Amino acid sequence: MMFGNSIIGHLSLVEQFRRIIETERFAQAYLLCGPAGVGQFHFALEFARAVNCRESQGEADCRCLSCQKLLRYNHPDIRIFMPLPFEIMRLFDKKDNEVFYQQVNNLILQRIEKPYESLEYPKMSSLSIEIVRWIKREAQVSPVEGKKKIIILDRIEEMSLPAANAFLKILEEPLNDVFFILITSQLSSLIPTIISRCQIYQFRRLDLEAERQIAAKLIKKTCSPFLLSLSRGSIERLLKLLSDEDLPQLRSTVLQGIGHFVEGDPGGIVEWGEKMQSFFSQHRTINPWQSFCSILLFFYYDIFSALTLLDNEHFQNQDFKEELTLFSKKTELSVVIEAMIQIQRVQQALQQNIQPGIAFYFLLSKLSMIHLRRMNDATV
């Protein structure tokens, strides 16, 4: 069995690492970079598992002792370091060792079990020079069970400068049967001397199909297309969106707005504009303005589908199908197309850092104009 059969997406990287495992010519350090939440940590774990697996190359459900130990994080040859919550690092400073190691182990286990979600605490510590000393001690111990000692460093951009310099010294020393896997979403924050000592592998955003497959595996249900689009190829973002309690309210409020537009109800539109503004100021929906535009666009897309009698499967918002079909009967294709063009323009403007409040009122007036003009034409 070959490496990577449990990795979805990143096909060419899987190919490259397959060759590394087959030739057994390991570099001293691999640097996995690219946008956050697309699966670098999972990839690093799978690579580490494959290198030390006793039966295959880390087949997805391998029962060998080495693979089982890695998944329980008690494999002596695979160590993981990452920025830790401030509260826990304080125990480290106090040399309250037993409690400290226990808590760290629990967090790392949690990270292994949910490899697409990085730890989030109000206050996180950097990867300090003390941690680097700990890494050094680990690196000096040769593998005891596996082929290689593998040290995974997650979010290495969180390394302080003195720590980074100390770490560089470790990379410069010859080590026996030890290699590092470094992970970052901010390559430009690393010191160039570290980068130059690594083999660099660039991860990209997951394509829609890969993301759909991973989501189906992780949450065991199909994800709506609009959520997949909002997450922009990051599983971490997708999972956050799924647990975002404000999102359903945002969707139903946006839907009400479209109702006012297609009815040609200026009073309702103004009221809705105020309601949206207060939503934006009160709620913590992830990236509210981009979410708003995407939701709006997907609703219009469905009205478009209803008007052009596209197949049912093209419907993005199955849960609001009835409302959207009704809206389609009160408007016409040219209006919907024009509205979609305007929403996309505002989306682009938002990416170029236009002030969201201005973008919102611009869009509101454009959509009003497009819809109300159609109403006026109809009454003439």
Residue found by looking up tokens 């690393």 in the block: 190
Give the Cα separation of 372 and 76 in Å (integer): 69
Q: From the CB of 21, what's the least distance to Zn ion, in Å?
A: 12
Q: Are strands 199-202 and 178-184 parallel, antiparallel or unpaired?
A: unpaired
**CA pseudo-torsion sign 52, 54, 58, 64:** negative
Between 3 and 360, CB nearer to Zn ion: 3
State both tokens at 71: 């998944």
CB 371 within 8 A of CB 263: no
Between 55 and 172, CB nearer to Zn ion: 55
How many other CB atoms sit within 10 Å of the CB of residue 355? 10
Within 8 A by CB and 6+ apart from 103, the residues are 88, 91
Between 28 and 56, CB nearer to Zn ion: 56
Between 26 and 134, CB nearer to Zn ion: 26
Q: Which amino acid belongs to residue 85?
A: P
- Report the interface residues with Zn ion, using CB under 5 A: 53, 55, 62, 64, 67
Q: From the CB of 254, what's the least distance to Zn ion, in Å?
A: 48
Q: From the CB of 3, what's the least distance to Zn ion, in Å?
A: 11
- Which run of H or of E encompasses 364? helix 356-379
Q: From the CB of 5, what's the least distance to Zn ion, in Å?
A: 12
Q: From the CB of 73, what's the least distance to Zn ion, in Å?
A: 15
Measured N-to-C along each axis, helices 86-93 and 97-113 cross at an angle, to the nearest 10 degrees, of: 150
Between 64 and 112, CB nearer to Zn ion: 64
Q: From the CB of 128, what's the least distance to Zn ion, in Å?
A: 34
State both tokens at 114: 């949910």
Between 70 and 132, CB nearer to Zn ion: 70
